[in-house]
Structure 1
Amino acid sequence: MCRFPLRVLVLEDHSFQRRLAVSMLRQLGCREVFEAADGAAALALLQEVGPVDIALCDLRMEGMDGLEFLQCAGDTRQVGSVILSSSLSADVRRSVRQIISLLGLEFLGDVGKPLCMEALQALLKKHLPAPATRCGPAPAPERIQEHELRRALQAGQLQPYYQPKFDLRTGQVRGVEVLARWVHPGRGLLSPAAFIPLLERCGLMDALLFGQMEQALDLQRQARSQGHALNLAFNLQAAQLTNDELAPRIKALLKRHGAAGAGLTFELTECGLLQATQTSIKNLVRLRMMGCYLAIDDFGTGFSSLQRLCALPFTEIKLDAEFVRALGHEPRCQAAIASTLALGRALEMSVVIEGIETEEQRQQLLRLGSTTGQGYLCARPMSGGQLLHWLGQQRICA
């Protein structure tokens, strides 16, 4: 039985550390383990043995350093994923992680130094496909065709799923984000990554939005009848804001459902707002005039403009989950979260922290002054029926 059917390259200039890493990887059952003392030697080795699944990579070394090696390996696609093993400061390693992502490489994690076998094993597991295919290559996903997607929209297969936003102090639900899932008759439940890019190319994002809104407003009414007031948060793209008919269509939909604009939030990513057009700004203003709330999503991942944040009528900041993942070991992330919370208070905007998965993270965020969050600690995305049942059980996260 193969435990880790992986080809791994260890790039480490310290001979003892390199031997230790190679020994651990072999004990963990990696299929092939290669080693090199600097980047140039590692590139020469890859030319000889072929691509590897993972590079366990130090950064600072004589000759070609780890960063230059990753640049070259990324360009030639000789490395699939990267595990960092470095004693450099946390802020430097965090910047390197961003570079790894920009190079198109998968970042599995940072084991630091000295190496720990348990931590290394956990990161190797992240690279593996589903258990049923661990000892063989994963089958390539079938390409989704436009006609198939249009048929799915008409058949109601693209369903809204709901993930709660919760009060970090009490665990009470403050609202839900409405997410798209494709309930495919043959492939099961598909995530947005499988179909949203095609929806964008085909100009079908409005069809998805209004289909979701129809179903979600019905659910909001059912929840209200059970004593639960739910704010519904929908994702909007910058391209959708350029449509003059967007706000009037939303207004008509609310009127037909007898719903208030104050029960809706629209979330927009900051990167899409760098070149807001006149029509985009008018749509945002009209949504606010209807009583709807506006959130700037994935805050901190793009090139934020404070001028834009002040000029556009936002009411909420959603801080990206990456800051929470690094909360326990990177002081700069703690400072970024605290600064964003202070910014929200100064601008009279609420701040929602995404990606909360552990009780420790919740307690840390409370100490920093955060009050609202979203993540698996409270609940995963669920169907409408599951959400009503979940609310009926009065489950809380505190």
Structure 2
Amino acid sequence: MPRLPLRVLVLEDHSFQRALAVRMLRQLGCREVFEAADGAEALALLREAGPVDIALCDLRMDGVDGLEFLQAVGASRQVGSVILCSELSGDLRRSVRQIVSLLGLEFLGDLGKPLCLEALRSLLKKPVPAPATGPVPRPALEAAREDEIRHALQAGQLQPYYQPKFDLRTGQVRGVEVLARWAHPSRGVLPPPAFMPLLERCKLMDALLFGQMELALELHCQMRRHGHAPNMAFNLQAAQLVDDALAPRIRALLVRYGVSGASLTFELTESGLLQAPQTSIKNLVRLRMMGCGLAIDDFGAGFSSLQRLCALPFTEIKLDAEFVRGLGHEPRCQVAISSTLALGKALGMSVVVEGIETQEQRQHLLRLDCATGQGYLCARPMSGGQLLHWLGKQPVCA
């Protein structure tokens, strides 16, 4: 049995279940396995033994329970990833998974009980982020200032990255989503949560959008010369729809780069749309009249409004990744996906399922008659140069 370079903490108050988990982890070759009967004991163990890569965590126990433990390690970053192992009902475990994500912890999977060796083996094969080994750094957002983010825009540090959407049957690219990354000169490449709130407060979202569009449309011209012309999807905030100049500026860019409106899709989150004034509808209509697609993003993650979905001229539904994560063990997730696929078909809208990471998820979605997906199974977000190289190797997911 090859050894896994993993330090794992088992948090379980039932002595037999705890011993079983420890034995399985050692059988699977984990480098070090620690055990604790409650959250307080687990936190004390972390202070003494140091951070661990994975916490295999039960939830309901006397004293400091699993939720309190997760909240504590979310702040300290002494745990890289979390695997849930609990007898709680599926809907409660799904809520806990959302809490894990909100705490900034990586969620590896939900095993339920009794523990299954093969299911555990599969989760241990996933990439595991390293836990913090020293003081937790201040979030980049706290250190960023308005003058710094303005300079980043002017210096071209906010760069577009591209994540493909793919046909689940053939692996062919259906389109790419354009995502922003901050190539910070001293902190490396920063993800959107590190700078998006600051851009919003400084009212710089239009500057970001049109800067990203210029670079992405230049890349689109290069891709056309290489025989590729995937649809490009840009994130758009509901607050940007109140600007009467939005659609004309987009049209001018399309003319300048010789790109048809049908080559673009604009993705809007449902939570933002619920707050959007009626005056924003005219910009959505204008974009559709230009041939652009409109996607409702993270569908199901907020407070869905079927009335709003039917009233606005959307062409695509993007189903939130949380439903795919629970697909194999949570029947409600399968029902939600099936219902959304049926809704999209009835409304004449395509459905893109986000967060596909495994072949098992892909096959399950194919059985549900899902056609299009997005996720790490096909590709992670990449730079423009990497995308050109990647497209030259198609198909990659067949």
Alpha-carbon distance in structure 2 between the residues aligned to 1:140 and 1:124: 27
**Residue 84 of structure 1: how far off its partner (Å):** 2.6
Please name the residue that 1:380 is paired with. Answer: 380
Worse overlay, 80-89 or 307-316: 80-89
Q: Measure the CA separation in 2 of the matches of 1:197 and 1:169.
A: 37
Alpha carbons 2:319, 2:351 under 8 Å: kept: yes
Q: 1:201 to 1:47 in 2, by over 3 A?
A: same
- Provide the C-alpha distance between the structure 1 equivalents of 2:126 and 2:317, rounded to a whole number of angstroms: 34
C-alpha contact (below 8 Å) 2:84/2:112 kept by paired residues: yes
The Cα shift of 1:351 comes to 0.6
Q: Secondary structure at the match of 2:275?
A: coil
Corresponding letter in the other structure for 1:397? C
Q: CA deviation at 1:364?
A: 1.9
Q: Which is further off, 375-384 or 139-148?
A: 139-148
Q: Matches of 2:183 and 2:41 in 1, distance apart? A: 47
Does structure 1 residue 361 correspond to structure 2 residue 361? yes
Q: Which letter maps to 1:208?
A: L
CA distance in structure 1 between the partners assigned to 2:221 and 2:257 by the alignment: 9
C-alpha distance in structure 2 between counterparts of 1:45 and 1:329, whole Å:
27
The amino acid of 2:298's aligned partner reads D
RMSD (Å) for aligned C-alpha atoms: 3.6
- Give 1:122's aligned amino acid: L
Deviation string for 1:254-274 (max 9, x for gaps)?
222232211110001111111
Return the alpha-carbon distance in structure 2 between the equivalents of residues 106 and 74 of structure 1.
13
**Structure 2: any 5+ residue segments left out of the alignment?**
none
The alignment status of 1:155 with 2:152, answered yes or no, reads no
Q: Alpha-carbon deviations, 1:36-77, whole Å to 9, x = none?
A: 3xxxxx56996999899787543456x6794xx626974998
Match of 1:70 among 57, 67, 71: 67
Does 2:193 match 1:196? no
Q: State the 1:375 CA deviation.
A: 1.8
Between stretches 261-270 and 168-177, larger displacement belongs to: 168-177
Please give the per-residue CA displacement for 1:177-205, whole angstroms capped at 9, x wherever unaligned: 11112223333322222222221221111
Q: Are 2:267 and 1:267 aligned? A: yes
Counterpart residue number, 2:37: 35
Give the match for residue 228 of structure 1. Answer: 228
Contact 1:166 1:374 in 2 (8 A): yes
CA contact under 8 A between 2:76 and 2:136: conserved in structure 1? no
> Once structures 1 and 2 are overlaid, which stretch shifts more, 343-352 or 380-389?
380-389
**2 CA distance for matches of 1:237 and 1:316?**
16
SS at match of 1:274: helix
TM-score (norm 1): 0.82
Number of the residue aligned with 1:315: 315
CA–CA separation in structure 2 for the residues paired with 1:332 and 1:326: 8
**Equivalent position amino acid for 1:293 in 2:** G
Aligned to 1:390: 390
CA distance in 2, matches of 1:382, 1:103: 26
**Separation in 2 of the partners of 1:376 and 1:234?**
19
Q: Confirm or deny: 8 A CA contact 2:10 2:21 kept in the other structure.
A: no
Instruction: Please tell me whether the aligned partners of residues 35 and 42 of structure 2 are also in contact (alpha carbons under 8 angstroms).
Output: no
- CA distance in 1 between counterparts of 2:45 and 2:376 reads 44
Question: What residue identity is the alignment partner of 1:356?
Answer: I
Contact persistence 1:74–1:105 (CA under 8 A): no
Which residue identity is paired with 1:242? V
Per-residue CA deviation, residues 303-348 of structure 1 (Å, 9 max, x unaligned), is: 1111111011100001112222222222222221111111110000
Residue in structure 1 matched with residue 290 of structure 2 by the alignment: 290
Alpha-carbon separation, structure 1, partners of 2:286 and 2:180: 25
Residue matched to 2:167: 167
Change (3 A) 1:128 1:388: closer
Structure 1 position 222, deviation (Å): 2.1
> What pairs up with 1:174-185 in 2 under 5 angstroms?
174-185=174-185
CA–CA distance in 2 between the matches of 1:209 and 1:306? 28
SS across alignment from 1:318: strand
Shift of the alpha carbon at 1:22?
A: 6.4
Structure possessing the higher radius of gyration over alpha carbons: 1
Residue equivalent to 1:39: none
CA distance in 2, matches of 1:341, 1:246: 31
Mean Cα displacement is larger for which, 202-211 or 189-198?
189-198
How far off its partner does 1:225 sit?
Answer: 2.6
Residues 22-46 of structure 1 deviation map (CA, whole Å, 9 limit, x = unaligned) = 677899566975423xxxxx56996
Could you tell me which amino acid in structure 2 is paired with residue 35 of structure 1?
A: A
Q: Equivalents in 2 of 1:78, 1:223: separation in Å?
A: 44
Structure-2 separation of matches of 1:48 and 1:390: 45
Identify which range, 111-120 or 203-212, moves more after superposition. Answer: 111-120
Q: Sort the Cα spacing of 1:75 and 1:135 in 2 relative to 1 into closer, same or farther, 3 A.
A: closer
Counterpart amino acid of residue 389 in structure 1: H
Counterpart residue type for residue 336 of structure 2: A
